[in-house]
Amino acid sequence: MDEDVSGKCSLRREQSWERKKRFLEHLSVSGNISEAGRVAEVRRGTLYHWKDTDKEFSVRWEEALEEAADALEAEARRRAVEGYDEPVTYAGRVVCDPDTGNPIVRKRYSDGLMAFLLRAHRPSRFRAGMESEGRSGMISISISRDDSAL
């Protein structure tokens, strides 16, 4: 009877680890704990219990969230730098090329994402609120005919 109980415990541990793996895989893509839990068919409370009691799972959880954040940052950079195609619309309808029938698109860039990335990666130069640090953002230029006066 003891072998039967230990066999069931072993099977439960294996099933738990499979669900943990499924959760972590989806978390690394979505970055959404609730969604990853639904995919793995594990309740949120159980996930947090595992996180609190399983050091390896907790470390992998944080790594999965970092991977998801890296993917978001890469997409933000792509949209800001390379841009994205946006269909041209008129009166609420997509405009198509009369010769090919394909939608006409224009390249769009995200200035907001660009500003966000600059603030994140170069905070000393692009951080908002520089005025509170004694930097007004104003540039003073002195013009003189004599370079030695500068």
- Region 80-91: mean pLDDT is 94
For residue 40, being part of any structural domain is answered with yes
Taking only the tens place, the pLDDT of each residue in 64-74 is: 999 999 999 99
For residue 119, being part of any structural domain is answered with yes
Is 0.75 topped by the overall pTM? Answer: no
For residue 130, being part of any structural domain is answered with no
Which residue range is the domain that position 95 belongs to?
11-124
- Residue 83: the pLDDT is 93
Query: Structural domain tally of the chain?
Result: 1
107 pLDDT higher than 60: yes
For residue 1, being part of any structural domain is answered with no
For residue 147, being part of any structural domain is answered with no
For residue 46, being part of any structural domain is answered with yes
- Region 119-129: mean pLDDT is 82
What is d(CA 70, CA 28) in angstroms, rounded to the nearest whole number?
10
- Residue 14: the pLDDT is 67
For residue 67, being part of any structural domain is answered with yes
